[in-house]
Homo-oligomer: A and B are copies of this chain.
Amino acid sequence: MSDSDYDVIVIGAGPAGMSSAVFTARASLKTLVIGDPDKSQLITASEVGNYLFADGRSGRELLDAGIAQVEKYGAQLLVNEAVHIVKEESGVFRIKTADAKEYAARAVVLAIGVSYIKSGIKNEQELKGKGVHYCVACDGYFYKGKKVLVVGNGNYAAEEAIELLAYTKDITIISNGREFSISPELMVGLQKGSVKLRKDKAFEFVKDASSTAAAAKSKLTVIFKDNSKEDFDGAFIALGAASTVGFANKLGMELDSTGFIVADKNGMTSVEGVYAAGSCTGGTFQMAKSVGEGCVAAISIVKKLRGIENYSDLT
């Protein structure tokens, strides 16, 4: 087992992810948490009153206590951003971080919150799947040798563009009005592939999508904020951190009609070995619910990996 091999990788370092890690680590499963506690919604809370047994503490205090607890029981916290995930035929998951490192695990907990950000570009919804896409791993091959736009300013957009290089050399990333924030390792990959970076904001997508045949033939015209236009063959939306939709698409995972991960009462998703917890499963965005679901997902993993049908962590 190399250093990058874990029993469990938890993606997300908010309450759901931390709770999962505490349980799997206590069960002696080698556990890695990839995420940044400072990016949890919880950090904005000045005083939390509704989480039982911890009344009146700030989000910052709770997160610090959580980090200490996660590490006390033996889980590792890697403050980084997961940008890619694949499941190998063997069932092993390989997760790539923004610094281009790879970590492998037998089970994964997605505790990635609600980071999915819509571009707000006009006609995004209408052209979804007909020129506008959300997952290079799923739809990249439609654009072999074509001209493609990637919309996003962060590591996730950079990773999607680098994956697109397997299909085409004509790639432009627009930051959509934000500052670019891309890790040095991913910047190297973008430069090597001559990916164009442009600090610009798209306003509208225009395309004849009246029929599948029409859509296949016609270009996707992007109208920018200054009213300039440029034709592309397709666009990939990759805003914010790796979104629920992004991870789900990479894994071929079932989402509900509102874009949340479908997980059963044991936290299992439609992809074997992948569990989900917290706000990314929908429902109420409360810390108590996230912590509870993190626990449930972890217990399911312990049962599965250890083969103990009735595992319980009594204290």
Contact = CB atoms under 8 A, between A and B. Distances in A.
A261 to B, nearest CB: 12
A46 interface: yes
A230 to B, nearest CB: 39
A54 B53 contact: yes
Interface size classification for chain A: 35 or more
B315 A299 contact: no
A89 to B, nearest CB: 31
A33 to B, nearest CB: 12
Nearest to A314: B45
B286 A299 contact: yes
B283 A288 contact: no
A129 interface: no
Interface stretch (A63-71, A150-158, A161-169, A188-196): A63-71
Contact of A49 (B19, B312, B315): B315
A69 B52 contact: yes
A147 interface: no
A50 B26 contact: yes
Count identical subunits in the complex. Answer: 2
A242 B178 CA distance: 59
Contact of A289 (B22, B62, B296): B296
Given A50-B315, A53-B65, A66-B52, A288 B284 contact: no
A226 interface: no
A315 B59 CA distance: 9
Interface in A235-263: none
B286 A289 contact: no
A55 B26 contact: no
Most buried by B among A23, A284, A294: A284
A31 to B, nearest CB: 13
B69 A62 contact: no
Contacts of A49: 22, 26, 69, 73, 315
A47 B315 contact: yes
A57 interface: yes
Contact of A66 (B53, B65, B288, B313): B53
Interface in A279-300: 283-286, 288-296, 299
